[in-house]
Structure 1
């Protein structure tokens, strides 16, 4: 069983780390909105099949659908669009590094939106260190280059993730809904919203090729569909604390694939800044680790679940 979980953990890191490569390749023949549309439609189809096979009933309450619509906008539509737009101007590896700031953004939003949230001194230091790492990646000493806006878009995407996870924690997680059902609705609503918006935002000429078609299909089916199942299994088997270490691997995968497959160049400040961001995450994370329910145990953190999107993985209460 442990060997099976290890394989799924590795596949998870590869799927989410490779998402930024697939976005980049998809942009060779599609506009950012078209990439997101294809990603969400194929991802929703994959999750619908998974929900049907596992016989997961979807929630029926209108208020739940309303909350999941908010989550779909903040966790799928807007950040996916921002990352896809940004990758027209920045390397896929750099985008994957910025994606690793999601836990820091989530903690920052939670401090403001959730009155019960408190940070230890180590956690506060982790926030400061983490955002110092962001500055190193941004490299302001180089001046206001043409990629600053694109890098800001990446940070805007992770800030949206933070807003979405806090909303999930406050309004959805207390309901105790099955995780597969929640994500199926979330991605499905995101796909529906993009289909409605497509006549207005996805009208650019399409230049399809096998790499473009395969990239968008894998991005949706694997990165936004199967990866969720792997993630759920790993969290159930190893606990969220151990499973969350996938966040440390995805930027490594993203950068390596960008260099090897796309021939991207990496400046010294990018891996250094990423390492500083990950150090900040390590300082922030221990506060919640003691409250989680690990396999075979019980405790006040039993309501904690991991939520994800195709570009990354995060833990929400």
Structure 2
């Protein structure tokens, strides 16, 4: 059958808010789960449950685009999905889960918000599918300064677990940026239904995790109801259902408006970390986060600097 039309505005708004809450809560869920399972088991459970959830949705709805097949048939498309499964799921999920052994869930959620900055760098420098204006370049620069302030290199005389944890979070954000750029270049224009797209991405990552079970998920576990519920929410909801909501929001609002979930997730993550886990901050972490937010606003053209835009316009006029 063909995919249903975009849900009503109110439903899309609720899905957007639900997506932000689930993705923001995922850092709390990881922190709780790490009390009874290893970081590899957290990532393993997240992707396997997410893939199973999305697989059941695709099996039940059998979405098609213009009467085409449910699953793509070209081998190169499957290869592209394998790439983004590794760079957008397997590696960053392992990095975030590993990092939360050393950093707070609040700080991890702040680093996740760096993704628009790393995406801007990847789509312009690595994949060359976009061109940044001067205001956006300034936004990227401010965002990078914000990351340095969050890390607070003046606090470290040697490499510590906390520093490695922050670098792992940053590595995960870079992976996400690469994935968005890769998807934009090789997959975004292909006629693949949204739920199928999400299933192939998460499902292939889950399959890779199953293959790596003897390496990353063989350790003994100590389960409690909070740990089990956190893993279920992290996998079936945060890595399953939320991806369907993301597609609905993307199609109803467009990519720019849908990307504003970036502003919701760190707020949810920080609030939950402080309220539930009693996490605290040093002065430089919220200061750096504020710089990152300013950088995102400039990068996504939410804020424009007229004098820089005028310079861009003159440059375009001179080359035309």
Q: Decide: shared fold, TM above 0.5.
A: yes
- 1:17-50 Cα offsets, whole Å, 9 max, x none, are 0010011111111111111111111101111122
1:54 equivalent to 2:84? Answer no
- Give CA-to-partner distance per residue, 1:272-309, whole Å, 9 cap, x none: 2112101101111129x9xxxxxxxxxxxxxxxxxxxx
Aligned to 2:207: 192
Q: Distance in 1 between matches of 2:132 and 2:252?
A: 28
Match of 1:293 in 2: none
The answer to whether the 8 A contact 1:59-1:181 is kept is no
Shifted more, 196-205 versus 92-101: the winner is 196-205
Please tell me the root mean square deviation across aligned C-alpha atoms, in Å: 1.6
CA distance in 2, matches of 1:192, 1:38: 11
Within the alignment, does 1:137 sit opposite 2:144 as a pair? Answer: no
SS in 1 for 2:130: coil
Unaligned runs of 5+ in 2: 1-7, 64-69, 305-320
2:67 corresponds to which residue? none
CA spacing shift, 1:115–1:245, aligned 2, 3 Å: closer
TM-score (norm 2): 0.86
How many residues align? The count is 288
Alignment partner of 1:43 is 2:50: yes
Contact 2:88 2:175 in 1 (8 A): yes
1:127 aligns to what?
140
SS at 1:253 equivalent:
helix
Tell me if 1:11 matches 2:18: yes
Gapped regions of structure 1 (runs ≥ 5): 290-317
The answer on whether the counterparts of 1:86 and 1:154 sit within 8 Å (CA) in structure 2 is: yes
Aligned partner of 1:2 in structure 2 is: 9
TM-score, length of structure 1 as denominator length: 0.87
Deviation at 1:155, TM superposition (A): 0.6
Q: Counterpart of 2:184?
A: 169
Aligned mates of 1:116, 1:39 — CA distance in 2: 31
Q: Is the 1:75–1:161 contact (alpha carbons within 8 Å) kept by the matching residues of 2?
A: yes
73-82 vs 175-184, which moves further: 175-184
Work out whether 1:153 is the aligned partner of 2:168: yes
CA distance in 2, matches of 1:139, 1:184: 39
Q: Name segments (4+ residues, structure 1) moved above 4 Å.
A: none
Q: Does 1:72 align with 2:85?
A: yes
Partner of 2:316: none
**Structure 2 CA distance for partners of 1:203 and 1:157, relative to 1, 3 Å:** same
Cα pair 1:9 1:246 within 8 Å, conserved: yes
- Deviation (angstroms), 1:116: 4.8
Structure possessing the higher radius of gyration over alpha carbons: 2
Deviates more, 1:105-114 or 1:83-92: 105-114
